[in-house]
């Protein structure tokens, strides 16, 4: 039996580009037209889940109203915790710190969450879902990439390079 996940990336956050904002709760403007467009593309989903961060939860509530679904909010669907890097520009973090993080195998060199911990958190959530439901999940690019690494046999390098636009829907199937 399969669980089909319709993974929706939140809309563009109201923050300057080039800033690391994983767990930081930065909002995003919810455009009614964008929400309507996403709702139409989702079709007949039976459940709606969201990251607890505002940039996702607000879009999920708008979708829930259009799809007549209650939103289930869960911290497990939050973006990677970047620890000391949160709200710093990538330039201020610096290439050497980023290179050291990559060389460490994405350990928590920033005092946040390692990629292994992050992937385990996302996978645990996915394995707990009802295999008889098609689920829409409003979440973050990092979470979507984690699903792809874990359930779609995409390599780490491929997943990190996988482009995901704001408001984009990515489909992922999980064997239950």
At the fourth CATH level, the homologous superfamily of domain 2-175 is Phosphoglycerate mutase-like (3.40.50.1240)
State pTM to two decimals: 0.95
Tokens linked to 57:
């939860």
Q: What's the pLDDT tens digit per position in 160-174?
A: 999 999 999 999 988
d(CA 92, CA 85): 9
Decide if 53 contacts 41 (C-beta within 8 A): no
**Alpha-carbon torsion 119, 56, 34, 174, what sign?**
positive
- Note the pLDDT tens digit of each residue in 17-76: 999 999 999 999 888 899 999 999 997 899 999 999 999 999 999 999 999 999 999 999
């Amino acid at each position: 039996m399969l669980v089909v996940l319709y993974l929706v990336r939140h809309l563009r956050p109201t923050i300057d580009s080039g800033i690391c904002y994983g767990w930081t709760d930065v909002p995003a403007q919810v455009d009614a037209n964008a929400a309507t467009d996403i709702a139409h593309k989702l079709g007949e989903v039976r459940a709606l889940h969201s990251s607890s961060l505002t940039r996702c939860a607000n879009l999920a509530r708008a979708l829930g109203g259009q799809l007549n679904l209650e939103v289930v909010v869960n911290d497990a669907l939050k973006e990677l915790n970047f620890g000391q890097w949160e709200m710093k520009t990538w330039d201020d973090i610096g290439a050497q710190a980023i290179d050291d993080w990559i060389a460490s195998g994405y350990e928590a060199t920033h005092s946040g969450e390692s990629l292994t911990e992050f992937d385990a958190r996302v996978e645990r959530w996915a394995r707990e879902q009802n295999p008889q439901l098609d689920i829409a999940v409003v979440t973050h690019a990092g979470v979507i990439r984690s699903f792809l690494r874990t359930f779609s046999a995409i390599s780490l390098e491929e997943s990190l390079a996988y482009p995901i636009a704001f408001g984009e829907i990515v489909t992922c199937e999980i064997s239950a």
